Homo-oligomer: A and B are copies of this chain.
Amino acid sequence: MNYILNNLPEREQKPREAGYTMAMDKGLSVREVEDFLEVAGNYVDIVKLGWATSYVVPNLEKKLDVYRAAGIPVYFGGTLFEAFIIRNQLEDYRRILDKYKMGYAEVSDGSIELDHGLKCEYIQTLSEQVTVLSEVGSKDDTKIIPPYKWIKLMQDELAAGSWKVIGEAREAGNVGLFRSTGEVRSGLVEEILTKIPFEKIIWEAPQKSQQVFFIKLLGANVNLGNIAPSEVVPLETIRLGLRGDTFSHFLDMEALKKEADLTQKLT
């Protein structure tokens, strides 16, 4: 930190289990990755290569090297897993995880219908090879999953070997945890948290209003995902109560105001 400010919320330091920031790289150049890490390397915990962008980008190996050198784990978006599965190419998928020395993988069923028992088998199998994140929730905005089912799905996936579960949104933030307006389904979130430890969940929150919602509800050290690279620094300030949106959230404003009023006579 560049200077000292008192009364900031306690922030978990890396490596950490809570307070995770997962960013989404949807096609950065090598130099853009370097720029991203120069600014946000201390604040980002893991990077997802969005959906199947890894299929088309010509700089995949070089980019992975840059992230690796900075100690930031990287994984392929869940849609890539699904693209392999629907084509009956699981073994090919496992081979590319090895080929690119991936330490993490995501198991999801946002775009395909997958029996949940089979999904858990995939989680179990892949978790022998890599650390697995699994995603709950559909990309299809007509499929509403009731709270008790979110909980059951998350519990089963953690039991099957998922390291953390991800609450699905989409890049634009309009399905899964969110209403079509982008508003968070807050009752759903609260109910999930009665049953699942909050450090086991990464909430996808690409929009600022969603980040603010989760930080106000769950504190500075909530795990948040699908953050645009250029938004990792702004997010860090929101976590610390240093942006307007959460400015007074972590402070006892009345007490501080009283103190400031008494002593800050200028002359």
Contact = CB atoms under 8 A, between A and B. Distances in A.
Contact of A2 (B5, B43, B54): B54
A3 B93 CA distance: 9
A6 to B, nearest CB: 5
Contacts of A180: none
Nearest to A230: B27
Contacts of A234: 26-27, 50, 53
A148 interface: no
A236 to B, nearest CB: 5
Contacts of A139: 244
A99 B3 CA distance: 10
A30 interface: yes
Contacts of A26: 230, 233-234
Contact of A253 (B54, B57, B86, B96): B86
B55 A39 contact: no
Contact of A86 (B28, B56, B260): B260
A155 interface: no
A177 to B, nearest CB: 15
Interface in A1-59: 1-7, 26-32, 34-36, 38-43, 50-59
Number of copies: 3
Interface residues of A, number: 82
Interface string A107-122: 0001111000010011
A251 interface: yes
A106 interface: no
Nearest to A170: B244
A170 to B, nearest CB: 7
A178 to B, nearest CB: 15
A88 to B, nearest CB: 5
B29 A89 contact: no
19 contacts: A1-B56, A4-B92, A5-B84, A7-B87, A27-B39, A27-B234, A29-B35, A32-B35, A43-B56, A50-B234, A52-B237, A52-B240, A55-B237, A55-B242, A56-B236, A85-B264, A88-B260, A88-B264, A121-B266
Interface of A: 1-7, 26-32, 34-36, 38-43, 50-60, 79-80, 82-90, 92, 96, 99, 110-113, 118, 121-122, 124-125, 139, 170, 172, 208, 230, 232-234, 236-237, 240, 242-244, 247-248, 251, 253, 256-257, 259-260, 263-264, 266
